């Protein structure tokens, strides 16, 4: 290709960057532009997979969504060849591309490595199918600077020689899909780092993807502490067990751990004291999910009209949104309960009548429950499930471990019932299914500042994360096995971590568990850092902030004038153009995914769901449509020295 109508840079080629490229390819196949477009696909680690899903990571890190529900194609496979807009789900791709002994069932969980290979295949397919109209140049490098040109385009500066050996690139449009941030330590983390620096035999490992943490620094037999018991905790756990040569083996309906002798002893804790529970056994088809009955767009619009009449301007999450979420949970829980006890016909009749309830009509609800014999059935209390040990005390560590083991076994029992037949796991799966409805309420400053901070970010979001995003059941079985051989201990609820100068050790303890004090020589933060624009360590983000190219999204109460900085990158609604500190909109600069977290909610999703037109792809499609349009002011590129569509620009290190 010798001439290009315009040039585009996509910075970050993990799932979000690939989704934009896939939709661009699908649109190009229909539009067929008269002049070709040049796209630079840029990633610091691996173009077509990104850092988190890179294809050189260990195989024990797994996804937490079954393979039949995961796709990166914006349309289902139609029996023809895989192509943009019509391609296989992750499960279908595994079935056709792997040897029989490597294949997975539709309700199994793939490794992150395998998903990275799938991402690469989607990327390669998109590039191949649009090569007549779009030239894709792969660039493996960090973008250190992004500057706006006078003609409306952008100048990119790499940390090493880029295309044709240059460190500078000029493009007309840029898409930022940079994924998970590495952030500067907060006040507490600085304290831990300083303490470790003063005591040379101590280590503090800051939060990151477990595949990127220096866990090999931890010695066999060392007693270590772990902050956090969420999804990333399980990755650390596996790295220090399977990754050290240990083996989990079936033993009847349980799992037994055979140590290698190279493991450390793990002492872990969190605010709840509860390792994140398992996902229910999947009983749903790819397109089978709960459609909101109460938390609808119409209900959110009505709530907005109500607050406008009250001159509040924005919603209060606890008052206007959370009750509707709880009704959705109740609806699915009670329907599953009736189906199990009274049959499907009664469950259908109940669901129809329950869905017709006016949300705040308490009397009608009580009559309905009484008529169906449900007055003594306890609907799940989300806060109690997420904080099961609140107000309890334990005589010692052994007493707490026994109680925790009972809870983990109970969780496995509930998970085995499934996410349709099991009332509890079916109800908790609702929290995943109503995310888009919640976004309608909270995105782009939809909540009052105090309610966003207190009710949503500090209240609902941690509970939602703990109860709706769990690992496969196998992880709970493995955790139990480690507890039984004495390699893993949970300190207790409300875990505290002190830097004990006299002992020269990190100390973990729970105020609710007598004698729970544990000294450790290494402390591992097993929590993924939260998005925070100002703490982002990337030289690119720091430069863009410093030069006033981007800004933090700030919510302001229209009545009181109170402001809340969110930590998210300020963008417009779709197609997500970046906004600078003066409120000016960059016509040709877009951002999607994690950099915009807090401006929008739950942007960390790494795939779409098969069988449905998801927000994941609607977002990508909106940007792809913009990338097809030449900017008003064009720079014509002659293409000399540009790599071909299939040859990656492998940049030398250093």
- What is the per-residue pLDDT for 650? 34
Rounded Cα distance, 632 and 94, in Å: 44
Listing from the earlier edge strand, what are the strands of the sheet with 518-520? 496-500, 505-509, 518-520
CB atoms within 10 A of CB 270: 23
CATH class of the structural domain 6-182+532-649: alpha beta
Give the whole-angstrom CA distance, residue 104 versus residue 578: 41
State the pLDDT at residue 132.
Answer: 92
Query: Average pLDDT for residues 32-40, to the nearest whole number?
Result: 91
**Which tokens sit at 8?**
């585009």
Rounded CA gap, 475 and 472, in Å? 6
What is the reported pLDDT for 81? 93
Instruction: List the strands of the sheet with 168-171, edge to edge.
Output: 143-148, 154-158, 168-171
Q: Does the pLDDT of residue 6 top 80, yes or no?
A: yes
- The pLDDT value given to residue 644: 27
Please say whether the beta carbons of 113 and 57 come within 8 A.
Answer: yes
Is the dihedral angle over the CA atoms 535, 469, 175, 570 positive or is it negative?
A: negative
Number of residues that this document lists for the chain:
654
Residues 497-518 have pLDDT tens digits of: 999 999 999 999 999 999 999 9
User: Of 117, 115, 132, 233, nearest to 606 (Cα)?
Assistant: 115
pLDDT given at position 653: 32
Is residue 8 classed as helix, strand or coil in its secondary structure? strand
**Torsion (CA) 460, 462, 466, 470 in degrees, nearest 10:** 100
DSSP element (H, E) containing 196? helix 187-198
If DSSP codes are grouped into helix, strand and coil, which group holds residue 256? strand
CB-based contact 351:335 (threshold 8 Å):
yes
Give the Cα separation of 511 and 491 in Å (integer).
10
Which of 603, 569, 635, 506 shows the shortest CA–CA distance to 153?
635
Q: pLDDT by residue (tens digit) across 578-609?
A: 999 999 999 999 999 999 999 999 999 889 98
pLDDT (tens digit per residue) in 218-237 = 999 999 999 999 999 999 99
The stretches of 320-396 forming alpha helices (DSSP H) are 322-342, 344-355, 362-371, 382-386
Contacts of residue 446, defined as CB under 8 A and 6 or more positions apart, other chains included, come to 314, 315, 440
Give CA–CA dist 485/468, Å, rounded. 29
419 in Cβ contact with 286 (< 8 Å): no
- Three-point CA angle 606, 60, 227, nearest 5°: 80
pLDDT of 636 > 80? The answer is: no
Mean pLDDT of 288-302: 94
Contacts of 405 (CB under 8 A, 6+ apart): 480, 483
Q: Is 180 helix (H, G, I), strand (E, B) or coil?
A: coil
Tell whether the model's pLDDT for residue 308 goes beyond 90: no
Contact 401, 409 (CB under 8 A): no
281 half-sphere exposure, CB direction, 13 A CA radius: 11
What pLDDT is attached to residue 79? Answer: 85
Q: How confident is the model at residue 469 (pLDDT cuts 50, 70, 90)?
A: confident
354-412 pLDDT, tens digit each: 999 888 888 999 999 999 999 999 999 999 999 999 999 999 999 999 999 999 999 99
pLDDT > 60? residue 27: yes
Asked whether 281 and 417 are in contact (CB, 8 A), the reply is yes
Query: CA 623, CA 574: separation in Å to the nearest integer?
Result: 8
Tokens of 431: 């929290």
| pLDDT tens readout for residues 333-343 | 999 999 999 99
Percentage of the residues of the chain whose pLDDT score is greater than 70? 96
User: Domains of the chain: which residue ranges?
Assistant: 6-182+532-649, 187-271+484-524, 297-468
Q: What is the overall mean pLDDT for the chain?
A: 93
State the pLDDT at residue 612: 64
* Parallel/antiparallel/unpaired status of strands 203-205 and 522-525: parallel
Cα 553 to Cα 296: distance, rounded to the nearest angstrom: 26
pTM over 0.85? The answer is: yes
Q: Which helix (H) or strand (E) holds 465?
A: helix 461-468
Residue with tokens 């199994």: 108
Measured distance CA(232)–CA(237) in Å, rounded: 9
Per the CB < 8 A criterion, the answer to whether 35 and 1 are in contact is: no
547-562 pLDDT per residue, tens: 999 999 999 988 888 8
């Amino acid at each position: 290709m010798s001439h290009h109508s315009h040039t585009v840079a996509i910075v970050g080629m993990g799932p979000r960057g690939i989704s934009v490229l896939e939709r661009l390819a699908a649109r190009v196949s229909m539009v067929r532009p008269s002049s070709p477009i040049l796209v630079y696909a840029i990633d610091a680690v691996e173009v077509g997979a990104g850092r988190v899903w890179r294809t050189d990571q260990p195989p024990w890190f797994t996804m937490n969504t079954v393979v039949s529900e995961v796709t990166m194609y914006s349309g289902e496979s139609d029996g023809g060849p895989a192509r943009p807009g019509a391609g296989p789900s992750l499960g279908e791709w595994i079935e056709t591309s792997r040897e029989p002994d490597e294949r997975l069932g539709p309700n199994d969980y793939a490794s992150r490595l395998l998903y990275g290979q799938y991402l690469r295949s989607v990327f390669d397919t998109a590039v191949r199918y649009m090569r007549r109209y779009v030239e894709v140049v792969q660039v493996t490098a960090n973008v250190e600077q992004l500057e706006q040109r006078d003609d409306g385009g952008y100048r990119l500066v790499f940390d090493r020689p880029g295309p044709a050996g240059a460190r500078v690139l000029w493009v007309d449009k840029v898409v930022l899909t940079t994924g998970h941030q590495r952030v500067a330590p907060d006040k507490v983390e600085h304290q831990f780092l300083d303490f470790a620096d003063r005591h040379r035999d101590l280590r503090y490992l800051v939060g990151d993807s477990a595949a990127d943490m220096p866990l090999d620094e931890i010695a066999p037999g060392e007693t270590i502490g772990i902050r956090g018991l969420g999804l990333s905790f399980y990755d650390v756990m596996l790295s220090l067990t399977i990754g050290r040569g240990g083996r989990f083996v079936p033993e009847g309906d349980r799992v037994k751990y055979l140590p290698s002798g190279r493991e450390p002893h793990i002492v872990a804790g969190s605010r709840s004291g509860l390792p994140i529970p398992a996902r229910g056994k999947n009983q749903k088809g790819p397109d089978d999910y709960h459609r909101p009955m109460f938390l609808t767009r119409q209900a959110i619009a009505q709530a907005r009209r109500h607050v406008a009449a009250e001159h509040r301007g924005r919603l209060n999450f606890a008052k206007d949104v959370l009750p509707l979420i709880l009704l959705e949970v109740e609806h699915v829980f009670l329907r599953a309960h009736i189906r199990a006890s009274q049959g499907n016909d009664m469950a259908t009749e109940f669901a129809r009548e329950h869905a017709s309830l006016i949300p705040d009509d308490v009397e009608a609800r009580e009559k309905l429950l009484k008529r169906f014999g449900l007055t003594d059935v306890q609907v799940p209390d989300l806060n109690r499930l997420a904080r099961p040990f609140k107000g309890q005390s334990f005589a010692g560590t052994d007493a707490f471990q026994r109680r925790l083991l009972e809870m983990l076994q109970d969780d496995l029992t509930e998970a085995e019932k499934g996410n349709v037949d099991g009332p509890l796991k079916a109800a908790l799966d609702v929290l995943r299914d109503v995310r888009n409805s919640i976004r309608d309420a909270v995105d782009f400053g939809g909540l009052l500042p105090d309610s966003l901070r207190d009710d949503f970010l500090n209240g609902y979001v941690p509970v939602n994360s703990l109860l709706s995003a769990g690992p496969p059941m196998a992880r709970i079985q493995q955790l139990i096995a480690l507890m039984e051989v004495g390699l893993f201990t949970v300190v207790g609820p409300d875990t505290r971590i002190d830097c004990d100068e006299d002992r020269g050790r990190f100390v973990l303890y729970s105020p609710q568990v007598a004698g729970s004090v544990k000294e450790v020589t290494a402390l591992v933060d097993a929590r993924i850092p939260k998005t925070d624009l100002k703490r982002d360590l990337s030289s690119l983000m720091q430069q863009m902030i410093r030069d006033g190219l981007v800004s933090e999204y700030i919510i302001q109460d229209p009545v009181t004038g109170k402001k809340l900085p969110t930590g998210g990158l300020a963008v417009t609604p779709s197609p997500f153009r970046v906004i600078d500190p003066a409120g000016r909109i960059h016509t040709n600069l877009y951002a999607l995914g994690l950099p915009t977290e807090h401006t929008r909610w739950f942007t960390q999703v790494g795939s779409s769901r098969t069988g449905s037109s998801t927000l994941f792809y609607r977002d990508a499609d909106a940007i792809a449509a913009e990338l097809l349009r030449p900017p008003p002011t064009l720079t014509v590129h002659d293409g000399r020295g540009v790599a071909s569509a299939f040859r990656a620009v492998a940049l030398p290190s250093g």
